[in-house]
Amino acid sequence: MSLESFTNGFQSNDDRLKEVKAFDATKMGVKGLIDSGVKCIPKIFIRPLDELSEDSKTPCVKLQVPTINLEGIDRKDRYNEIVKEVLDASETWGFFQVVNHGISVELLDEMLQRVRMFHEQNTEVKKEFYTRETLKQVVYNSNYDLYTSRSANWKDTLVVNAYYGHLDPKELPEICRDVMLDYTNHVMKLSDILLELLSVALGLGPDHLREMEFKKGWSLVNHYYPACPAPDLTLGASKHSDSAFLTILLQDQIGGLQVLHENQWVNVQPKPAAFVVNIGDILQMVSNNKLRSVHHRVIANLIGPRISVAFFLRGVLSSEKLYGPIKELLSKESPPVYREFTLSDFYSYFFSRPLNESGFEYFKV
């Protein structure tokens, strides 16, 4: 089925499943729609009326996600200040930006550029990576929850999975292979620093969170958000919290990421060479709600493409290890909120539901 006939049929076709299958079968993603010259977004991307009517408020511009400067972290006085800032941000926002993290601007820019090059290369090359098998090492598609969501998001995604603690570099797309490996090594080192800061902030030993083995399994999720002809009708990413332990995000300067704070959407303003860090669902659960995994989303935009690279610490899916609230954080006044679970249980549940449905209730005691 050609893209032209596919897009022309949307005006009269009410069978969502048929439309979804047709879109999926092209293996061209949202970028393919743009390349075909589509002027109106297909119905599968249009948000339900109840969502659109709830979303009339403009974002709050008075509030800003905290920014934490890691410069001077090797000095004891500054280290203690940074720990306090990390705790405050993680308890109240669930999000913060970090600057002066030691990773070069050149590498960050190159990473964003290579992700863009992957998504904008010849379609036939990209199709070789197109799949709906979410646990493969390399996954390229549009909307992992395409068949379960109420409306599709205006984005395409390249995912690199090291769920089992091993990554074969030969599996990576050649166009971005070298920079991905370099970038991942640097972000892993940054994650060590962040996990130590979070451990100390929780009153635990500096190695406590690192020793929980979440670094052994990770995902690198590379999003491409094309310019959208009707940004008020769809989203780049639906409201969700992250099904991970910790997220370290690199975004370009276009913007679009929003955090839900005190029941209002707040723009996460892009800062040059900054990472956006947020608490994941698993870290909220093991901290027994001490740290917060909060809802966030990405709005669609008339300009683009927007590029973002999210590094998720997920742990090893095949591990039989049981996770639950950290015992040192429990007391008579603070009993466990969540039951124990394996990562396999957690992610099986996560991938069985749409992105915008929370999973916390399922794991509560």
Angstrom distance (rounded) from CA 310 to CA 300: 18
- pLDDT confidence of residue 48: 92
CA distances (Å), origin 42, targets 105, 151, 172, 291: 38, 10, 31, 39
Q: Residue 179's closest CA among 257, 116, 100?
A: 116
> Is the distance from CB of 199 to CB of 205 less than 8 angstroms?
yes
Angstrom distance (rounded) from CA 56 to CA 354: 23
- pLDDT confidence of residue 57: 62
- pLDDT confidence of residue 325: 97
- pLDDT confidence of residue 56: 60
Crossing angle of helices 177-201/105-120, nearest 10°?
130
Look at strands 296-299 and 235-240 and give their pairing: antiparallel
Tens-of-pLDDT digits for all 365 residues of the chain? 344 434 443 334 468 999 999 999 999 999 999 999 998 999 999 999 988 887 766 777 789 999 999 999 999 999 999 999 999 999 999 999 999 999 999 999 999 999 999 999 999 999 999 999 988 999 999 999 999 899 999 999 999 999 877 789 999 999 999 999 999 999 999 999 999 999 999 999 999 999 998 989 999 999 999 999 999 999 999 999 998 999 999 999 999 999 999 999 999 999 999 999 999 999 999 999 999 999 999 999 999 999 999 999 999 888 889 999 999 999 999 999 999 999 988 888 877 766 666 677 889 98
Ranges of each domain in the chain = 49-363
HSE of 233 in the Cβ direction (CA atoms, 13 Å)?
Answer: 10
- pLDDT confidence of residue 53: 81
Identify the residue whose tokens are 């009269």: 12
Which CATH superfamily, name and number, covers 49-363? B-lactam Antibiotic, Isopenicillin N Synthase; Chain (2.60.120.330)
- pLDDT confidence of residue 258: 96
Angstrom distance (rounded) from CA 23 to CA 32: 10
- pLDDT confidence of residue 2: 42
- pLDDT confidence of residue 58: 73
Angstrom distance (rounded) from CA 220 to CA 177: 12
> Is the distance from CB of 6 to CB of 22 less than 8 angstroms?
yes
